[in-house]
Structure 1
Amino acid sequence: MATRSKDVRPSDPAPNPEPGGVIRAAKPRQSAKGEQTRARLIAAARNLLAGDGLAPFTTRNVAALSGVTHGMCHYHFANRTDLIVAVIEDIRPEWIAPLQDAVDSPGTFEQRADRVIALLTKPEAADLSRLHSSLHWFALNDDRVRESLEAEYRLWRSCFVALFQTLADELGGGLDPRPLGEALASAADGLAAIQSLDADVDAPSVMRTLVRGLAAGASNA
């Protein structure tokens, strides 16, 4: 008799037929234990990706680090790429959500810009910095990873566009916020790279100069 994985609960009773008499089977819902196992695997994958590179990033090593069987790892993630994509989604609250909050919270353009500058000039945690570097490397060699990471960066850049949309609204329209937002996003990304090599760079002054220069140029256009 076939056994059922402990990480999945039985599906709900068969649903009522759809119009035409077609019955679609309900998808099994993941149990709390299954969700915990998945979270442990993602955390282990993140640690390996952000590590010193001595341990290869494989599903077998992820399983060992998280304390689950290799088979259970493949039950939740079909392959290594699935794990990497899950990590990309998992870190969104750490680098994109705070930027969204800084832009979307009430205030003038200047107030929102100050929040964005304060956020962008905080030193990035070392593990997150290493993790981003590792993800970029995998993106060069895996199309699915690249597509997933590109989607996250589009979301990240859209925050800067939204910031300058606030300025456009204050000026009464006629201002295209996209090139301004894209320019600031590119500069912020470059500044992060510089900071990783030179801790003495005055990041707040650089960011304030960039934002004020872009805003002044837009206002005088």
Structure 2
Amino acid sequence: MATRAKDTRPPAPPAESAPDTAEAGRTARGGRSRSSAKGEQTRARLIAAARTLLTEDGLARFTTRNVAALGEVSHGMCHYHFQDRTDLIVAVIEDIRPEWITPLEEAVQAPGDFARRADRVIELLTRPEGVDLSRLHSSLHWFALNDERVRSSLEAEYRRWRGCFVDLFQVLADERGDGLDPVPLGEAVAAAADGLAAVQSLDAQVDAESVMRTLVHALAAGARGPRAPGRA
């Protein structure tokens, strides 16, 4: 596994130093200092640049120096916000959550019975994944194989993603009230969805909606709660 870089975080540059007394007072009253806003903007630019490099150039050119150059930020300022490239990658993993996990969570949590929520989930799952996001995921998976911190962060995101499917089948379990365990059902659909995405990346002719609809509704129809003691 890759180890964490030994460089240390330099002192904050003057452009993003602590606010003066007047600014601190405004911040304490609920405002936000200009230096704080500037720092957030700089951090966002660095994350955007990191995403671009990971998407377009993959692994070869992904260094903090290249990220800083692409984001038009000094290398020192990059290391002020991110200690090393692992920090940057973890920030990217968090940054893309609204693009693939949050919509799924919202589809499951929105009102409706199991069938309605399942339809929303299937509709999301069968949208073709953008090329950029697909390439970005591939790069993140490679880094996860070589950096324990990246692996831990990405694993947590996938655990959250799989949890959406478990929550979906929990709705079915609540409707039926027969003690149905939603975990294996949700995990099965999550694994199928992940595999289907890989198949689609190679064969666009696969009818993803038909596959997912058949799987989800077959699992829902065939699922059984725990058997009563003494029953065959």
TM-score (norm 2): 0.84
1:9 to 9, 14, 18: 18
Partner of 1:214: helix, strand, or coil?
helix
Separation (CA, whole Å) in 2 of partners of 1:76 and 1:201? 43
Deviation, structure 1 residue 93? 0.4
- Relative to structure 1, the CA distance from residue 119 to residue 29 in structure 2 (aligned partners, 3 Å threshold; closer, same or farther) is same
Q: Find the counterpart in structure 2 of residue 213 from structure 1.
A: 218
Deviation, structure 1 residue 29? 10
Structure with higher RCO (Cα < 8 A, 6+ apart): 2
2:41 to 32, 36, 41: 36
How many residues align? The count is 206
- Relative to structure 1, the CA distance from residue 206 to residue 169 in structure 2 (aligned partners, 3 Å threshold; closer, same or farther) is same
Is the 8 Å Cα contact of residues 46 and 131 (structure 1) preserved in structure 2?
Answer: yes
> 2:153 aligned with 1:148, yes or no?
yes
Q: Find the counterpart in structure 2 of residue 134 from structure 1.
A: 139
Gaps of 5+ in 2: 1-10, 26-32, 227-232
The equivalences for 1:162-173 within 5 A come to 162-173=167-178
- Relative to structure 1, the CA distance from residue 30 to residue 161 in structure 2 (aligned partners, 3 Å threshold; closer, same or farther) is farther
**Per-residue CA distance 1:48-89 (angstroms, 9 max, x = gap):** 001144851000000000001100000100000000000000
2:93 to 65, 88, 97: 88
Partner of 1:100: helix, strand, or coil?
helix
Separation (CA, whole Å) in 2 of partners of 1:185 and 1:209? 14
Deviation, structure 1 residue 6? 1.8
Deviation, structure 1 residue 173? 3.6
Q: Find the counterpart in structure 1 of residue 209 from structure 2.
A: 204
**Per-residue CA distance 1:72-111 (angstroms, 9 max, x = gap):** 0001000000000000000000000000000000001000
Is the 8 Å Cα contact of residues 19 and 35 (structure 2) preserved in structure 1?
Answer: no
Separation (CA, whole Å) in 2 of partners of 1:129 and 1:86? 17
**Per-residue CA distance 1:149-181 (angstroms, 9 max, x = gap):** 000000000000000000000101410000000
TM-score (norm 1): 0.88
Q: Find the counterpart in structure 2 of residue 61 from structure 1.
A: 66
Q: Find the counterpart in structure 1 of residue 123 from structure 2.
A: 118
- Relative to structure 1, the CA distance from residue 202 to residue 29 in structure 2 (aligned partners, 3 Å threshold; closer, same or farther) is same
- Relative to structure 1, the CA distance from residue 66 to residue 133 in structure 2 (aligned partners, 3 Å threshold; closer, same or farther) is same
Deviation, structure 1 residue 5? 2.7
> 2:187 aligned with 1:186, yes or no?
no
Partner of 1:31: helix, strand, or coil?
helix
Is the 8 Å Cα contact of residues 184 and 211 (structure 1) preserved in structure 2?
Answer: yes
Is the 8 Å Cα contact of residues 55 and 133 (structure 2) preserved in structure 1?
Answer: yes
Is the 8 Å Cα contact of residues 166 and 183 (structure 2) preserved in structure 1?
Answer: yes
Deviation, structure 1 residue 220? 8.1
Off by >4 Å, runs of 4+ in structure 1: none
- Relative to structure 1, the CA distance from residue 86 to residue 220 in structure 2 (aligned partners, 3 Å threshold; closer, same or farther) is closer
